[in-house]
Amino acid sequence: MIDLEPISVLRMGADEWNAWRRKIRDRLPGAQRSSCERKLDGLFDTLTTTAFPVNDTLSGVEAQGWKLDGIDFSGMDLRGADFESCKLRGARFQKAILRGVNFRYANLAEANFQGADLSDSDFTGADLFSADFRGAVLSTSELANATLTSAVFSVGACRVV
């Protein structure tokens, strides 16, 4: 079940969301805060710590068409989320779990997906200009008709199927 407080903050936009995340993070003891920053192993199945004292997942959230430029979703679990036609320019998704996310026709220019698990995600028609996918898992993700100009991928991370 999705915690409604994060959803209501998310609807206010990126500035309010990012400020709320900082406020929550600042309440955590130092040991928990540093654990939020540690690198994830394998295909992110080993993630057992939470980034926030509230529910750190927005899996399945439906946010079609929302304007969330500059939002920080780093380290969050957004499995199955629907961001179709969203404005997510400059969004941060580092080390996030994004399996099966719908990014169809979203503006993700300059987004940072470093170390994220994007397995089975759909980027059909998305604007990925200058997006950073270094260290990201993109297995069986759909990139048909996506704008990939200046996008950055890890060497050897991509294969044509």
Handedness of CA 119, 105, 16, 94 (dihedral sign): positive
Give mean pLDDT, residues 47-68. 64
Position 114 in a domain: yes
Task: Please give the tally of structural domains in the chain.
Answer: 1
Position 48 in a domain: no
Q: What is the pTM for the complete model shown?
A: 0.73
Q: To the nearest whole percent, how much of the chain has pLDDT over 70?
A: 73
> With bands split at pLDDT 50, 70 and 90, how would you rate the model's confidence at 157?
low
What are the pLDDT digits (tens) for 86-131?
999 999 999 999 999 999 999 999 999 999 999 999 999 999 999 9
Position 47 in a domain: no
Structure tokens at 140: 């069986």
CATH, residue 27:
2.160.20.80
Position 136 in a domain: yes
Contact 85, 64 (CB under 8 A): yes
Position 30 in a domain: yes
Query: What region does 152 belong to: left with phi over 0, alpha with psi -120 to 50, or beta?
Result: beta
Alpha-carbon span 54 to 69, nearest angstrom: 23
Position 50 in a domain: no
| Residue 147: strand pairing partners | 127
pLDDT of residue 91: 96
> With bands split at pLDDT 50, 70 and 90, how would you rate the model's confidence at 64?
very high
Position 111 in a domain: yes
- Containing domain of residue 66, as a range? 1-42+55-156
